[in-house]
């Protein structure tokens, strides 16, 4: 139970996210603007980005859709929108990444 609370409250820096995903920090900043409906990291008082584990899953999903499925920015937005709509209709949020896509 305690481990679940810690993992939900865990916040990661842009540098940590970049290292974990292999996505450059400049790309993460671009994705934040391009996919602002789906990716909104919190900000500290000093305006630094803080990412949740849910944000990490979203970044992995975006990366997979772009690199593996060769979707454009617009295609990624549409795909993420479809998945979000499906989750809202079902009322069930999966514990897997929001895209229901496997990560290797």
- For residue 51, the domain's CATH number is 1.10.1660.10
Q: Confirm if 53 and 7 have CB atoms less than 8 A apart.
A: yes
Q: Confirm if 41 and 49 have CB atoms less than 8 A apart.
A: yes
Structure confidence at residue 69 (pLDDT): 96
Confirm whether 100 is domain-assigned.
no
Confirm whether 102 is domain-assigned.
no
Confirm whether 33 is domain-assigned.
yes
pLDDT < 50 stretches in the chain: 1, 95-104
Structure confidence at residue 100 (pLDDT): 38
pTM to 2 decimal places: 0.78
Structure confidence at residue 102 (pLDDT): 37
The residues, any chain, with a CB within 8 Å of residue 12's CB and separated by 6 or more, are 20, 50, 51, 52, 53, 55, 56
Confirm whether 68 is domain-assigned.
yes
Q: Confirm if 22 and 16 have CB atoms less than 8 A apart.
A: no
Structure confidence at residue 83 (pLDDT): 84
């Amino acid at each position: 139970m305690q481990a679940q609370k810690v993992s939900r409250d865990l916040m990661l820096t842009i540098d940590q996210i970049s290292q974990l995903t292999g996505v450059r920090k400049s790309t993460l900043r671009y994705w934040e603007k391009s996919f602002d409906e789906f990716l909104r990291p919190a900000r500290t008082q000093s305006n630094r980005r803080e990412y949740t584990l849910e944000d990490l899953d979203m970044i992995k999903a975006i990366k997979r859709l772009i690199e593996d499925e060769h979707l454009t920015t617009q295609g990624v937005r549409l795909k993420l929108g479809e998945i979000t709509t499906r989750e809202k209709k079902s009322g069930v949020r999966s514990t897997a990444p929001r895209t229901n896509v496997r990560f290797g």
